[in-house]
Structure 1
Amino acid sequence: MTINCNGNLISLDQPKIMGILNITPDSFYDGGKYKDESSILNQVEKMLNDGATFIDVGAYSTRPGALEVDEAIELKRILPIVSLILQKFPKTILSIDTFRSKVAKECIGNGAAIINDISAGLQDDKMLPTVAKLNVPYIMMHMRGTPQNMQQHTDYDDILKEVLSFFSERLVAAKALRIKDIIIDPGFGFAKNLEQNYELLKQMEIMNFVEHPILAGISRKSMIYKTLKTTADQALNGTTALHMVCLQKGANILRVHDVKEALECVKLYEQLNA
């Protein structure tokens, strides 16, 4: 199981780590933390040294209830950071967290390698054709509504069945355009309440029947810190515990804030299954 990132074939037969770099002022955990060139480059260097295969850069906060950000502002935020990172660390495999086709096109044109779309192409009808033309790996996530209203759309009869149905439809649309390297993300925390998140995680191995790599993004999310009655700042231990569950359920990529700890989890998982 491989994906082609700027001409490099990356095997996902062994789980990989995707480090998160939020350059938004209002992300739920690290909003505003990386706002100058030095802090950004230091964090990227740390994540790469700690073992991240991918760095996921986002300039639009998608936490529940986040404010809408104009496309021009998103571009203004993200394009200089893409150039900055690749100038300093040219071998970095950059993933771009955006649901806008113009942002995707501009970032790939500046050297990024992957598009990570929380809407699976539903927020911008030009996204799938753009990804197809760019011929890059595409991460499609399950979500209902928008980040602004998604928590009003949690009325599922059978969440696993409905998430699988969603991916079935979106995969047909993507494959009709000959998009090749597709990764699916169940979308923990997106249009799902606490109980639904755990129900989805509990049955996540069934998603392997879709026969595409699975990305799990649970790092420091409210499904962890609300259960533990703590905060995102104090949710690393809980995150690590659920990362092991994600790996056991078939996750190929862990999208994380804390790369070193996630990689340790992968190493222990691999030893357990050696």
Structure 2
Amino acid sequence: MSNMYDSVCYKRSFLKEVILRVDFGSRVETFMRALPQKIATAALQRFPLAEPKKAQTREVTFSGTAVQAKTEESMEWVYHGKNREKSLTITPEALLVTNRRYESFEALREDTDHVLRTLFEAQKDLSVARVGLRYINILDVAGDAPLLWTDYVNEEMLGIIDMHKDAAALTRVFHIVEFNYDGQQVKFQFGIANPDYPAPIKRKQFVLDLDSFFVGALSQEDVSRYIEAAHERIQALFEESITDKTRALMDPAA
């Protein structure tokens, strides 16, 4: 898709977390006990704090009427940015990058590409089954009307709030909308999640949680291309969901 928002950039944002996940097609047994030095070096170049930890996986199998459970211990290879603003986790099943102080998509891509490129070089038979990107925004603005969002959010998304006569008793107003764009899956969760749930809504917060992913037998080139496509779709949906007043709060870059 062509992205009309390519040039849009803000000095501030309402982002709470950005998550990029790559699921491997099959478990990489090598990573159960050790991470190849080449991959560890690449990880440390972008995420200089290493904190590996042990994890347990539980597998349940059924054979006729018998149920068997097996627990295995493996390692999670965890790395952080120097201020813990971002994290990288490599497990036998997946690679996960999380960012809690997001700067730009370009910076996220550079971090991810650097590690992924080395991962594919070190593991020649590596396969990928899923790649996804998720942006969690929480609009947190001043005001004493926690159900009134027309100044900040596309009012076409707000109809269900107005339909309730007993608004003072509302504890949560949340939607899930899912799309399939020729294989590109998008899950859009939005609304008033209410951090004080199940108490009635008092705080003025609105969630825009956008998740886009692709599933299949994916090559290294597919992964890179689909991360870009996921970002484009998420950016477009976000821009369509907010108003100029929200944009002004984020201070658009010139």
Task: Give me the TM-score of the superposition, normalised by structure 2.
Answer: 0.28
Question: In proportion to residue count, which structure has more helix?
Answer: 1
TM score, norm. by length of structure 1: 0.27
Greater relative CO, 1 or 2 (CA 8 Å, sep 6+) = 2
